[in-house]
């Protein structure tokens, strides 16, 4: 081979090598760009998935927190209800019901709220007047059909005590006294000589903020509709 032919052959080989190398590099670059594009797409998909799951679990956590707060509230309510003490149970005739009513009136410091069907005992009205005179708030709702000449209604009213008569078309048959929003006296015992000395009656005395609140709500409901 002549020198000229050898140089030409080498030149052609070099050109072919450069062409093939450039083509290979271009293919590799295209493949790399495609991989980058695929990774970006996977990253976008993963980001959307994570955001969706984060929102889901945030809502789940919020829901669980609401359930926990509800359960905590119920637990506190149950604990309040459980904190109830029965201070005494009494029966008539001559079982001490009258003296217990008078005794608890004497212990009142702030308020005495009463719903009473029959109230004719002077001893109890005297105790209420004494409590009123020492600054205790006394409010009494009478059953209107029981406001007779024997009732303590007029005596209490004349002493400046807030008294009302029930407007229920039926009987207001409650026998309830709430002391200072804590003590509840209730049962079948009417405040009458017959209930104290003749009838079979019962009286229970309960110390409970929860029970007192329930009775106070009923008292105010009846009081607000009475005249």
Instruction: Name the nearest CA neighbour of 185 among 64, 76, 79, 101.
Output: 101
**Segment 68-76 mean pLDDT:** 74
Model pTM above 0.75: no
Instruction: Give me the residues paired with residue 139 across strands.
Output: 113, 162
Task: Look at residue 175 and tell me whether its pLDDT is greater than 60.
Answer: yes
- CATH homologous superfamily for the domain 86-225: Endonuclease Chain A (3.30.870.10)
Task: Look at residue 71 and tell me whether its pLDDT is greater than 70.
Answer: yes
| Chain position carrying tokens 């209930």 | 195
Active site residues: 173, 175, 180
Task: Look at residue 18 and tell me whether its pLDDT is greater than 80.
Answer: no
pLDDT at residue 21, rounded to an integer: 54
pLDDT digits (tens, 9 = 90+) for 177-227: 999 999 999 999 999 999 999 999 999 999 999 999 999 999 999 999 999
Instruction: Name the nearest CA neighbour of 131 among 154, 148, 150, 114.
Output: 114
Instruction: Name the nearest CA neighbour of 180 among 131, 133, 129.
Output: 131
What integer best gives the mean pLDDT of the chain?
Answer: 87
């Amino acid at each position: 081979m002549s020198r000229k032919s050898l140089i030409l052959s080498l030149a052609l080989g070099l050109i072919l090598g450069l062409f093939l190398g450039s083509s290979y590099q271009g293919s590799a670059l295209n493949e790399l760009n495609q991989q980058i594009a695929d990774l970006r797409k996977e990253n976008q998909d993963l980001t959307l998935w994570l955001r969706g799951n984060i929102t889901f679990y945030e809502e789940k956590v919020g829901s669980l927190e609401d359930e926990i707060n509800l359960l905590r509230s119920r637990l506190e309510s149950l604990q309040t209800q459980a904190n109830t003490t029965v201070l005494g149970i009494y029966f008539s005739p001559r079982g001490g019901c009258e003296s217990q009513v008078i005794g608890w009136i004497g212990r009142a410091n702030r308020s005495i709220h009463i719903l009473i069907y029959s109230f004719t005992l002077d001893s109890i009205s005297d105790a209420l007047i004494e409590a009123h005179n020492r600054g205790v708030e006394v409010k009494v709702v009478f059953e209107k059909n029981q406001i007779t000449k024997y009732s303590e209604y007029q005596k209490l009213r004349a002493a400046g005590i807030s008294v009302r008569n029930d407007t229920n078309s039926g009987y207001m048959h409650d026998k309830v006294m709430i002391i200072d929003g804590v003590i509840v006296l209730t049962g079948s015992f009417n405040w009458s000589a017959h209930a104290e000395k003749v009838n079979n009656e019962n009286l229970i005395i309960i110390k409970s903020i929860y029970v007192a609140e329930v009775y106070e709500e009923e008292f105010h409901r009846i009081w607000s509709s009475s005249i």
